[in-house]
A and B are shown apart, each in its own frame.
Chain A
Amino acid sequence: KQEVTQIPAALSVPEGENLVLNCSFTDSAIYNLQWFRQDPGKGLTSLLLIQSSQREQTSGRLNASLDKSSGRSTLYIAASQPGDSATYLCAVRGGGATNKLIFGTGTLLAVQP
């Protein structure tokens, strides 16, 4: 059974700092991995999608990496801003026919001005 864990559960950094969020999964047979952000009381916004054959994806100040064999992904945020404050969720999509996303426990990020 796939389990997805995110460390740390919460993180507070001063504005301008670079930071890394971690996501680990127990079953390496994934199809892809997706990073989302969720603002309080809002829905999920897709940030990056990494296919299982890819090593990383970049969008603006965000860079996500994937090491499928070790069951890990990281989300790197460069030059953090207060507007980056949110909960960050990673989700893996299994390789079977079920086509479902299994979510991690989330990291609550606070960027202090």
Chain B
Amino acid sequence: DTAVSQTPKYLVTQMGNDKSIKCEQNLGHDTMYWYKQDSKKFLKIMFSYNNKELIINETVPNRFSPKSPDKAHLNLHINSLELGDSAVYFCASSGQGRTEAFFGQGTRLTVV
């Protein structure tokens, strides 16, 4: 069973479009994250949710809007996509007490 799953795995879209990436975890964790990995492979946190509540928003443009319908899901919606949004986006989760974090397989977003 996949612990943290993201869909889609690949996403190619044109500039100006709106797209969503979905994430689900079956680990019973309370905290979920979105990370962005740039072309130099550096991973940087974007958002963190704890029990459906936003606790971290790392100066991400407001074109990016996370949504957590329940603590097992954290979706990422991106409006008006730009070329610079091209990257790999990773979803992750961890349990209470800052336990081990588990990552999804990533979504490779290409904006053309």
Report which A residues bind B (CB closer than 8 A). Answer: 31-32, 34, 36, 38, 41-46, 49, 87, 89, 91, 93, 97-103, 105-106
Contacts and interface: CB of A to CB of B under 8 A. Distances in A.
Given A43-B90, A98-B48, A99-B50, A106 B41 contact: yes
Interface string B26-53: 0000010101000001111100101000
Nearest to A45: B103
B102 interface: yes
Interface of B is mostly: strand
Contacts, number: 57
Contacts of B48: 98-100
How big is the B interface, by class?
20 to 34
A103 B42 contact: yes
B41 to A, nearest CB: 6
A98 B57 CA distance: 10
Contacts of B101: 34, 46, 91, 93, 101
